[in-house]
Amino acid sequence: MKRIVILISGRGSNMERLIRAERQGELAQAQVVAIFANRANAQGLAHAAAANIPAFVVDHENHPDRESFDAALIAAIDRHQPDLLLLAGFMRILSAGFTRRYAGRLMNIHPSLLPAFPGLHTHRRALEAGVRLHGCTVHFVTPALDHGPIILQAAVPVLDGDDEETLAARVLREEHRIYPLAVRWFVEGRLRITGQRVEARGRQQEDALYAPCFV
């Protein structure tokens, strides 16, 4: 049984989806053992409590710099002996020391088709760039921001009349679909990192890049 720790900063909708995936048997070989937030007012903490999952706050504002915050977060996380860490809307840039400590077992989901639009405001930037396809990416986290080895992507169309809200909602539906799938591949031991590429043993080609949904 793989032990999973999830890190959040806000409402934690991807966290909710991952917990539901575990409870519904989609992640039969995994258990979410703890939730951590860097903000005491993160809405996702209430959902974690309702799901009877231990939830903790390591507030970045209580630490003078990134390194001391990361050290405190590492100490708190390691008490739960995680096999896999999942960033689910965790809005902190992690230090190189943190990402290297959990290399190969630290995942993130980013709301763009990386390497396009790393960082913030991805939906606004996609609209401004005039792209016709947008989407989301599950990747392993490395010291290079939003540039770790890609596990899985899903594409959605950018439709005439879209604004940030409508495009974000379309992408979020795909985030909720592919993040549990990538986690399942990990817990089943199907992922192998070779350089900047991730090989998923036994995956179907259609899983690698989901066809756009025009609804």
Q: Which of 47, 60, 110, 139 is catalytic?
A: 110
Which architecture characterizes domain 108-215 according to CATH? 3-Layer(aba) Sandwich (3.40)
Mean pLDDT in residue range 109-123 = 98
Q: 1-102 adopts what CATH topology? A: Rossmann fold (3.40.50)
DSSP state of 149: P
Residues 151, 140 contacting (CB under 8 angstroms)? yes
Give how far the C-alpha of residue 137 lies from the chain's centroid of Cα atoms, to the nearest Å.
9
123 is catalytic: no
Pairing of strands 133-140, 150-157: antiparallel
**68-91 per-position pLDDT tens digit:** 999 999 999 999 999 999 999 999
pLDDT tens, residue by residue, 12-59? 999 999 999 999 999 999 999 999 999 999 999 999 999 999 999 999
pLDDT tens-digit readout, 171-197: 999 999 999 999 999 999 999 999 999
Domain segments of the chain as ranges: 1-102, 108-215
Helices (H) and strands (E) in the chain, counts: 7, 10
Domains 1-102 and 108-215 share a fold: yes
Buried b (16+ CB within 10 A) or exposed e, 87-113: bbbbebebbeebbebbeebbbbbbbbb
Q: Which helix (H) or strand (E) segment is 156 a member of?
A: strand 150-157
